[in-house]
Amino acid sequence: MTKEKRYQHITKFTVAVDCIVFGFDGTRLKILLVKRGLEPEKGKWSLMGGFVNDSESTDTAANRILKSLTGLEGIYLEQYHTFSSPDRDPVQRTISVAYFALIDINKYQESINTDFEAQWFNIKEFPQLIFDHNDMVHLAQKKLQYKAASHTILFELLPEKFTLPLLQSLFEDVFNTSFDKGNFSRKMLSTKLLIKQKEKDKSNSKKGAFYYKLDKKHYQENLHKILKLIPNPNQIL
């Protein structure tokens, strides 16, 4: 069998990228969904996605798609799974490489692109999505928990300056549990990743809580390291 003959028989697929965009509004973990503007399933909610172009890697495509939706560049993006069930897209055979993204919700600019109608939903209560997008969200949530249990990625969801109580409420919502505030604060500070600021945030209490910033240098160095950031992971994950 010649090389040409072999290659002739090979099925070709359209390749899509779908993005689960996580945000945190100060209280709840959210995902960004779009209302589909084209068939099939026009008018239904879905993840933000698109097709991979000729000259692109999926990473490049994901960044491009994310920028078209949020206007943001340099977002934290992580490829986490490729979905390829033969019947996942009823119109045509498509495989989808799924990414999750973490953004500071405050930086998100609405309607920079009017092609899609986008909206934030609580991760715990979002509408029925098209195709296998519900599965994609659930797996993304699991992967986020798994990764965040030992890596310091959740800071990507916070603004530059944040308080310890805010950080704790983020962790509590991501892991769907609650922590002792004293122990949480001590564990976080022991990582040496936080730099205490002079100012306080007094919007939530009378005493006010000190702002902290991330030590970017230290953060980059320790991103990959295993830290035990959450108590009793087995009870949660």
Residues annotated as catalytic are: 117
Which ranges of 94-163 would DSSP assign to H, the alpha helix?
133-148
Beta strands 45-46; 162-163: pairing state: unpaired
Between 7 and 125, whose beta carbon lies closer to a copy of itself?
7
Taking the C-alpha atoms of residue 28 and residue 236, their distance in angstroms, rounded to an integer, is 17
| Segment 139 to 198, residues that bind DNA, using CB under 7 A | 163-165, 180-183, 185-187
Residue 78's DSSP bridge partners are 100
Stretch in the footprint of DNA (CB under 7 A) among 11-19, 32-40, 49-57, 227-235? 227-235
Task: At 169, list the tokens.
Answer: 């409420």
Q: What's the distance, CA 187 to chain centroid?
A: 24
Q: How many binding residues for a copy of itself (CB under 8 A)? A: 39
Q: Is 225 in the site for DNA (CB under 7 A)?
A: no
- Residue 205 CB, nearest approach to a copy of itself (Å): 34
Q: What are phi and psi of 176, to 5 degrees?
A: 55, 50
Q: Is 12 in the site for a copy of itself (CB under 8 A)?
A: yes
Q: Which does residue 38 touch among DNA, a copy of itself, none (CB within 5 to 8 A, set by kind)?
A: a copy of itself
Beta strands 117-122; 29-35: pairing state: antiparallel
Between 14 and 205, whose beta carbon lies closer to DNA?
205
- Residue 203 CB, nearest approach to a copy of itself (Å): 36
- Residue 224 CB, nearest approach to DNA (Å): 18
Q: Is 122 in the site for a copy of itself (CB under 8 A)?
A: no
Q: What are phi and psi of 47, to 5 degrees?
A: -75, 160
Supply the DSSP symbol for 155.
Answer: G
Q: Is 237 in the site for a copy of itself (CB under 8 A)?
A: yes
First CA to last CA distance, the chain: 51
x-or-dash string of contact with a copy of itself, 88-107, rule CB under 8 A: ----xx-x-x----------
CB neighbourhood size of 16 (10 A): 22
Judged by the rule CB under 7 A, the positions of this chain that interact with DNA are: 163-165, 180-183, 185-187, 200, 202, 204-210, 228, 231-232
